């Protein structure tokens, strides 16, 4: 958790140059005439406006954490599980999001440690500057995304952005890497969701066939299949198996 907080601080530092550029005080007026013409009032108002815009840029930090980490795949996979069992509201959204958040910190711990060691720690010690801290801290995150992105998704995003892909082994631009990484994560989550659906779908089909064979066509199959699916999931220790499978995908 300490390295996770450090990663958040590092992402804040990544947006600091833009925030400081907006919030920097305006240049002093060139002459007394400009002061008399309202330059003094403009100089006193503009820094506050720039500070407001700069702080608004920091609101993109949650979006960056979602788009550049394993959070997307985890939360979508957990949502598929909830629908496969047949309980779209259980567990509640707040429980799934919290579980996905902590599992994200667990799977991203090695990356966060590298970001802390290469970017934030040297910056706090005064050994490197802000730009070097940003470049060094974001390098492990870029490496993580490049390791889990599909070449087909990179090609598709590059064609949409009309940007040529660099040569093999070269660094992919962030405006191409981030959306391509999200597409790859969504594809992996949907693949996992399909696999999760199969055993529960089989239970639904078996229950429906048995009820029809017994002539109990008026009994809703879900009223019998739902307890069976919950029982099966508990007996096989489904939560532990699922979380192990998700964490193993990033090992």
Q: What CA–CA distance (Å, rounded) separates 173 from 156?
A: 14
Cα 120–chain centre separation: 21
Flag the least confident range among 90-94, 130-134, 164-168, 196-200. Answer: 164-168
Q: What CA–CA distance (Å, rounded) separates 147 from 143?
A: 6
Q: Taking a C-beta distance cutoff of 8 angstroms, is the pair 163, 176 a contact?
A: yes
Tell the burial category of 44 from Cβ atoms under 10 Å away from its Cβ (0-12, 13-18, 19+).
exposed
What is the value of pTM for the model shown?
A: 0.72
Q: What CA–CA distance (Å, rounded) separates 209 from 218?
A: 13
Specify the pLDDT at position 149.
87
User: pLDDT averaged over the chain?
Assistant: 76
Q: Length of the chain, please?
A: 251
Q: What CA–CA distance (Å, rounded) separates 96 from 93?
A: 5
Average pLDDT over residues 101-129: 81
Q: Is the pLDDT of residue 215 over 60?
A: yes
Other CB atoms within a 10 A radius of the CB of residue 6 amount to 20
Q: What CA–CA distance (Å, rounded) separates 90 from 14?
A: 37
Element holding 39 (H helix, E strand)? none
Report pLDDT digits (tens) over 68-88: 888 989 999 999 998 888 888
């Amino acid at each position: 958790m300490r390295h996770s907080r450090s990663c958040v601080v590092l992402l804040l530092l990544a947006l600091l140059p833009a925030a400081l550029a907006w919030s920097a005080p305006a240049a002093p007026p060139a002459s007394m005439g400009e002061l008399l013409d309202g330059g003094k009032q403009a100089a006193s108002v503009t820094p506050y406006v720039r500070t407001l815009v700069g702080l608004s840029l920091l609101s993109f930090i949650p979006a960056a954490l979602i788009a550049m980490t394993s959070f997307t795949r985890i939360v979508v996979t957990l949502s598929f599980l909830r629908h496969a069992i047949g309980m779209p509201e259980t567990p509640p959204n707040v429980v799934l999001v919290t579980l996905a958040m902590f599992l994200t910190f667990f799977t991203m711990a090695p990356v966060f440690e590298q970001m802390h060691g290469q970017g934030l720690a040297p910056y706090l010690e005064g050994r490197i500057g802000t730009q070097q801290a940003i470049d060094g801290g974001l390098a492990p995150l870029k490496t993580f995304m490049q390791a889990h992105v599909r070449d087909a998704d990179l090609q598709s995003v590059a064609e949409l952005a009309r940007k040529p892909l660099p040569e093999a082994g070269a660094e992919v631009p962030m405006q191409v890497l981030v959306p391509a990484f999200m597409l790859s994560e969504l594809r992996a989550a949907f693949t996992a969701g399909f696999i999760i659906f199969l055993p529960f779908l089989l239970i639904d089909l078996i229950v429906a066939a048995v009820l029809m064979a017994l002539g109990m066509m008026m009994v809703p199959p879900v009223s019998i299949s739902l307890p069976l699916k919950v029982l099966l999931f508990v007996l096989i220790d489904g939560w532990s198996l699922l979380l192990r499978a998700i964490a193993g995908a990033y090992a």
